[in-house]
Amino acid sequence: QPGTVKLANGSSIPAIGLGTWQAPPGEVEGAVATALREGYRHIDCALIYKNEAEVGEGIRLSGVPREEIFITSKLWNTFHPNAVESLRRSLKDLGTDYLDLYNESSELLPVNPDGSRAIDRDWDMGKTWAQMEDILASGKVKAIGVCNWSIPYLEELKKTWRSKPSVNQVELHPHLPQHELVAWCKKEGILVEAYSPLGGSGGPILSDPDVASIAKKHNVSPANVLISYHVNQGIVPLVKSTSPSRLKSNLQTVKLDEDDMKKLNELSEQPGKHKRYNTPLFGWDLGFDDWYGPQDKK
Ligand code: A2P
């Protein structure tokens, strides 16, 4: 593991995390156990990934003591009025009595009378955050954060927060560098976590010629460059793999020089390369502007 990064609350978070989103049941248990044996000490989970019980099994299978592992889970969107219940389910499934980090995603999704779900635009996110702060005070989680928050949402929350989020977890990679958001979080002392750092499965960033040339220069894989891009800036990438060899090789980081970083930071300015690969509300077909603030658009 390439070291740790400090959170605003003073605790440390391992610099690379294992992502578990879309890790299929039947594979995630083995991947978690292998990752822990290979040296990962940070696992990023969520209730909505619907695989936390298996992640918990993988942790126990690895033989690595709970207290050596940094575990994150997330409040799911249907639980904004009852954050404690979402947490209770995650703790039960993971088989642990505390989390190192608990993240809130955006937007309340209540169930309509016909069973469908829609976003409640009138929901006050400050009400959810107040519950997160109470959960923090209860000691069941050591830090609280948010996921997929853009600057306007964060500015709004800032008006009422008692504890600021320790992290903001967003999609981040050279095709979606979100420079303004990263700078805002840095200024506020909020750590940025990067999901989909490789641009997702078979994504075009891994085969981008500029990434390939930097990889060749350092004699590493394109994935190592994309992971190092974050680690070099103190951003924590959450990398998903279920392949033992890729799990292992993804822990290798390199020191990228100024020229490499400039290239990667400016990659999304090339025609057609500014691209988001995930819709956080998968399953709920939202338009781009519905979810993100205008600063996210190019
Ligand atoms: P696999 O699980 O077969 O390794 P992201 O983290 O950006 O969402 O990307 C995850 C995807 O990238 C997974 O589908 C994973 O597939 C693949 N992946 C993980 N590590 C590497 C790597 N070193 N080289 C190529 N693909 C990788």
Protein residue with least CA distance to atom 17, ligand 1: 201
Protein residue with least CA distance to atom 25, ligand 1: 223
pLDDT reported for residue 281: 54
pLDDT at 291 over 80: no
Of the listed ranges 73-87, 101-115, 204-218, 263-277, the least confidently predicted one is 101-115
pLDDT at 121 over 90: no
Token representation of residue 58: 């993988």
pLDDT reported for residue 295: 31
Of the listed ranges 42-46, 106-110, 177-181, 184-188, the least confidently predicted one is 106-110
Report ipTM for this prediction.
0.96
Q: Which of 193, 231, 240 to mutate to test the pocket of ligand 1 (most atoms within 8 A of CB)?
A: 240
Distance 197 CA to ligand 1 centre (A): 9
Is CATH 3.20.20.100 the right assignment for the domain spanning 4-296?
yes
pLDDT at 249 over 60: yes
Residue pLDDT, tens place only, 25-60: 688 999 999 999 999 999 999 998 889 999 999 999
Q: Which of 221, 243, 245, 252 to mutate to test the pocket of ligand 1 (most atoms within 8 A of CB)?
A: 243
Token representation of residue 252: 């290798």
Residue pLDDT, tens place only, 69-111: 999 999 988 888 899 999 999 999 999 999 999 999 877 777 6
Distance 289 CA to ligand 1 centre (A): 28
Q: How far apart are the first and last CA of the chain?
A: 35
pLDDT reported for residue 285: 38
| Contact yes or no for 111/119 (Cβ under 8 A) | no
Q: What is the amino acid identity at position 257? A: D
pLDDT band with cut points at 50, 70 and 90 for residue 205: very high
pLDDT band with cut points at 50, 70 and 90 for residue 211: very high
Mean pLDDT (whole number) for 164-190: 95
The question of whether 49 is a catalytic residue gets the answer yes
Distance 250 CA to ligand 1 centre (A): 9
Mean pLDDT (whole number) for 188-206: 91
**Which residues line ligand 1 at a C-beta cut-off of 6 Å?**
19, 196-201, 206, 221, 223, 239-243, 246, 249-250
pLDDT reported for residue 298: 34
Q: What percentage of the chain exceeds 90 in pLDDT?
A: 72
> Please, which residues bridge with residue 144 across strands?
102
Higher pLDDT, 140 or 80: 140
